[in-house]
């Protein structure tokens, strides 16, 4: 019998830099391994040898969209890791372990994806529209060294 179904609306992202954010969306929790599928050679009577072989694992970037506030910590994190003017980039010392957590209806942690040594490689500020009624959003894209579902 399957466990409790998790809704997609009860979640959070944690990392040393991200504290008390209202997160609108998280996407890109993916891992892939595209196998090498090539012909390795031809033998007697023209028999072709083919084998699907695992290759290097690739991790997709994680995109996090948050409700914008007057707090500039996401942009500051991005700037520390990527600024190429003035002070040298500080990306090595600003890579953090993080996690995405999904909760059940009672607020109990039911699923967790741990993310190894992530840092932002892209920052997008809000789209502002005079006639719009939506909240302003900021988006960061994280590159990382691995993801693992532990719960």
How far apart are the C-alpha atoms of 38 and 140, rounded to whole Å? 37
Measure Cα distances from 31 to 54, 58, 59, 83, 144 in Å: 13, 6, 5, 28, 11
Q: Is residue 142 part of a domain?
A: yes
Is 5 inside a domain boundary? Answer: no
Residue 43 lies in a domain: no
Which pLDDT score, from 0 to 100, does residue 37 have? Answer: 80
Q: Is residue 129, in this structure, part of any structural domain at all?
A: yes
Q: Is residue 109 part of a domain?
A: yes
Name the domain count of the chain.
1
Closest CA to 62 of 98, 108, 30, 32: 30
pLDDT given for residue 85 in this prediction: 60
- Which range marks the domain in which residue 67 is found? 11-34+51-149
| C-alpha triplet 125, 129, 134: angle, nearest 5° | 80
CATH classification at residue 139: 2.30.110.20
- Say if 105 falls within a structural domain: yes
Classify residue 61: in a domain, yes or no: yes
Give mean pLDDT in consecutive 10-residue pieces for the chain, a chain of 151 residues. 82 86 94 82 83 88 95 91 74 92 92 96 94 92 96 91
User: Is 39 domain-assigned?
Assistant: no
């Amino acid at each position: 019998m399957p466990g409790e179904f998790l809704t997609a609306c009860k979640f959070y992202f944690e990392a040393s830099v991200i504290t008390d954010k209202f997160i609108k969306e998280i996407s890109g929790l993916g891992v892939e391994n595209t196998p090498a599928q090539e012909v390795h050679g031809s033998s007697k009577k023209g028999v072709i040898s083919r084998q699907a072989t695992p290759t290097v694992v690739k991790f997709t970037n994680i995109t996090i969209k948050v409700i914008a506030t007057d707090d500039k910590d996401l942009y500051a994190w991005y700037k520390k890791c990527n600024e190429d003017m003035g002070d040298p980039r500080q990306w090595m010392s600003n890579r953090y372990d993080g996690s995405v957590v999904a909760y059940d209806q009672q607020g109990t942690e039911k699923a967790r994806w741990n993310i190894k040594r992530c840092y932002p490689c892209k920052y997008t500020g809000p789209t502002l529209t005079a006639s719009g009624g939506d909240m302003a959003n900021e988006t960061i894209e994280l590159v990382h060294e691995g993801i693992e579902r532990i719960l």
